[in-house]
Structure 1
Amino acid sequence: MSIRAAGTVAAIAMMAGAATTASAQEFPSEPIEIIVPYTAGSNMDRYARASAPILGRILDVPVVVQNIPGATGWNHIYQAEPDGYTIGVGEQTGQIGIGLLEPLPYDIEAFTWFGHFATGNQMMVLSNASDFETPEDLKDSDRPVRCGTFGGLSAGAMQCAMLAGRWNFPLAFVNVPGPGEMPVAALRGDIDIASVGVNLWLDYIADGSVTPIVNWAEDRDERAPDVDGLADLDMADLAGITVFRAVMGTPEIPADRVAILREALTEVANDPEWHEFIESGNLDDNYYFEDDYQDIISSVIREVDAQAELIQGAF
């Protein structure tokens, strides 16, 4: 290489490095939008709206929240400019399941995944109005076990599929309007099993309306310490199939901007105002914003894909 050519290459490299540095220094310089692909008042919406003012204070730009429910909201994030100014708060497990049933206009794995504010502990229960008298009766059942779901396929429905695969029973999904209506469906005997947030079941466990099967996390939950965790049932490897209050962005956001947002989101999760929000709502607070988060998404996809035939048949 000639001296002139070498000098040109070095100059280009310096310019590229300067551009990257400038990108990091200048970002963000305009408002950031958080898209919530769920209805107002949902848990995802609550997490997004609580985080927005704190994130805005940390980054020194306005942060606004917009609800665009369903696939339209997910696609809005996916198709946005990959500049870090459009991000979202969503739950990937149910979306991965829906992708087994119908083509999606976006690739869940291709989103830029920053991490999550929390994984929501879910508890799976057996309705005491069901023909199955104990959780053990589910094993090797000849008839389909009816699992409650909502919004097409929920994370709880994916958990039902994982349990069906391990305990060898056929599955049928029953749609209810939302997680808040799941206990009513259990009391009426419309469903046999269901998995939603721990808090929703506590009163019904106490009055004997439902029988807990498992706390869908590796360990037990302090809110219901007598209920087995997945490790107690030798199923700890399924703990990743859960509800994520995850933060994602458009594919191919520059790495320096991803790092800035990930660091800011970590600061949000450690802010006193955030802790007050979590404590007042008795919400989960196991945040994780790290570089390897994309690997977690890939792992969930593999686990759900392994039960694709069962999920497709049950739906």
Structure 2
Amino acid sequence: MMILHAIAAVAALACGVSTSASAADYPQKPIRMVVSYPAGGSTDMIARLYAEKLGQELKQSVVVDNRPGAGTNIGADAVAKARPDGYTVLFGGGTPSINSIFGPQPPFDPIKAFEPVSMIARVPFVIAAHSKAPFSNLQEMLAKAKQAPGKYTVSSAQLHLYVEMLKSRASAPFMHVPYKGGAQATTDAIGGQVDSVFALVPVLLPHIQSGHLKALGISSAQRIAALPAVPTFEESGVRYDIGIWFGLLAPAATPEPIVRQLTEATQRIVAQEDFSKKLEQIGAQATATTPAALRSFMVEEMQTWKGLAKSMPELQKAVELR
């Protein structure tokens, strides 16, 4: 029995030394960063900027693996099931949490399946109208929508929850016209087939800067550098400080030393002026957090969506009608 105990102790010690050495030597091979969105979009653009910087910080290649589908569930599930060794990570956000409430249901727990590393960026929404629309700001649009319920239209690429929330908080009965893709939703707004379009700032920014669309309002708490003259929804009298966040997540049970290395690398990246400036130029904001702060944010966000689902049944109805 004493011999067995001795063997077990030696094995445990060896395992501990192995884990410690593995974490200390990390990374020894390329890191796969899964992005749950298609290549070429604004999310992919931010992910690749970050991946390049992360590779430089860790002195190791970071390979972007685009795995879209099922409302981001496919890519997130691949990371949730990956070996927790720091060599497969997720560039993701809060969509899995939203999916767990409104669908499509993810095959994992959005909170328990991951070790949060750090937030990387936050991106607000913007609503923009075609150049000849009979309003020049959000207040004018909302006023006209209330005068003629259902007359004025807003397109979006499957952003049902966000548009319905805007309608509710603004008490504005405009008509939401959902599209399968952002390109057509934007093209039809530029052409006047719909009055306006609701999308993330990086999607519409080139069309606003070219004058094909006029920005009416943004959903961030403060005005942004890319659109300094555009008022926030809050300035227009609508309580709507909301957007999309992107962060780095590792599979649950990833060793703390590895998570710490990734967190510290991300904090250094966000502090770099060229990285934050590039994000500013496309309408995003670079931001870093601790793992604990990101986990708290994710839990709080989940509770917020659960509360909205109960208090605003129209959100659930909007999803069911997709």
- What TM bracket, shorter-length normalisation? 0.7 to 0.9
- Whether 2:17 is the aligned partner of 1:29: answer no
From the superposition, tell whether residues 278 and 170 of structure 1 become closer, same or farther in structure 2 (CA, over 3 Å): closer
Give, as a single letter, the amino acid of the residue that structure 1 aligns with 2:141.
T
Instruction: Work out the number of aligned pairs and report it.
Output: 301
From the superposition, tell whether residues 87 and 260 of structure 1 become closer, same or farther in structure 2 (CA, over 3 Å): same
Give, as a single letter, the amino acid of the residue that structure 2 aligns with 1:158.
L
Name the residue aligned to 1:86.
88
For residue 249 of structure 1, report the CA deviation from its aligned partner: 2.3
Runs of 4+ in 1 over 6 A off after TM superposition: 10-17, 130-133
From the superposition, tell whether residues 228 and 250 of structure 1 become closer, same or farther in structure 2 (CA, over 3 Å): same
Give, as a single letter, the amino acid of the residue that structure 2 aligns with 1:89.
F
CA deviations 1:69-118 (Å, max 9, x no partner) are 12322221121112221112234248615750332223323333322321
For residue 301 of structure 1, report the CA deviation from its aligned partner: 2.1
Alignment of 1:57-76 (within 5 A): 57-71=56-70, 72-76=74-78
From the superposition, tell whether residues 52 and 124 of structure 1 become closer, same or farther in structure 2 (CA, over 3 Å): same
Q: In the alignment, is the contact (CA less than 8 A) between 2:51 and 2:63 conserved in 1?
A: yes
- Whether 2:107 is the aligned partner of 1:100: answer no
Q: In the alignment, is the contact (CA less than 8 A) between 2:155 and 2:176 conserved in 1?
A: yes
For residue 200 of structure 1, report the CA deviation from its aligned partner: 1.6
TM-score (normalizing by structure 1): 0.76
Q: In the alignment, is the contact (CA less than 8 A) between 2:79 and 2:90 conserved in 1?
A: yes
The unaligned stretches of length 5 or more in structure 2 are 1-8
Q: Distance in 2 between matches of 1:100 and 1:246?
A: 21
Give, as a single letter, the amino acid of the residue that structure 2 aligns with 1:25.
A
Give, as a single letter, the amino acid of the residue that structure 2 aligns with 1:38.
Y
CA deviations 1:7-28 (Å, max 9, x no partner) are xxx9999888756643431322
For residue 33 of structure 1, report the CA deviation from its aligned partner: 0.4
CA deviations 1:103-143 (Å, max 9, x no partner) are 22233233333223211132124566599972234459854
Q: Distance in 1 between matches of 2:23 and 2:32?
A: 18
From the superposition, tell whether residues 172 and 246 of structure 1 become closer, same or farther in structure 2 (CA, over 3 Å): farther
For residue 257 of structure 1, report the CA deviation from its aligned partner: 1.8
Q: In the alignment, is the contact (CA less than 8 A) between 2:84 and 2:252 conserved in 1?
A: yes
Give, as a single letter, the amino acid of the residue that structure 1 aligns with 2:317.
G
From the superposition, tell whether residues 174 and 222 of structure 1 become closer, same or farther in structure 2 (CA, over 3 Å): same
Q: In the alignment, is the contact (CA less than 8 A) between 2:161 and 2:318 conserved in 1?
A: no
From the superposition, tell whether residues 142 and 62 of structure 1 become closer, same or farther in structure 2 (CA, over 3 Å): same
134, 154, 165: which one pairs with 2:141? 134
Q: How much identity, in percent, do the aligned residues show? A: 22
- Whether 2:200 is the aligned partner of 1:196: answer yes
221, 227, 240: which one pairs with 1:224? 227
TM-score (normalizing by structure 2): 0.75
- Whether 2:296 is the aligned partner of 1:289: answer no
Q: Distance in 2 between matches of 1:234 and 1:202?
A: 27
Structure 1, 246-255 or 191-200: larger mean CA deviation: 191-200
- Whether 2:256 is the aligned partner of 1:255: answer yes
Q: Distance in 1 between matches of 2:37 and 2:16?
A: 39
From the superposition, tell whether residues 148 and 130 of structure 1 become closer, same or farther in structure 2 (CA, over 3 Å): farther
CA deviations 1:236-290 (Å, max 9, x no partner) are 6x42x312232222233222221111111222333466357547x5452422132
Q: Distance in 2 between matches of 1:149 and 1:283?
A: 18
For residue 34 of structure 1, report the CA deviation from its aligned partner: 0.7
Q: Secondary structure at the match of 2:199?
A: strand
Q: In the alignment, is the contact (CA less than 8 A) between 1:161 and 1:171 conserved in 2?
A: no
The unaligned stretches of length 5 or more in structure 1 are 1-9
From the superposition, tell whether residues 257 and 90 of structure 1 become closer, same or farther in structure 2 (CA, over 3 Å): same
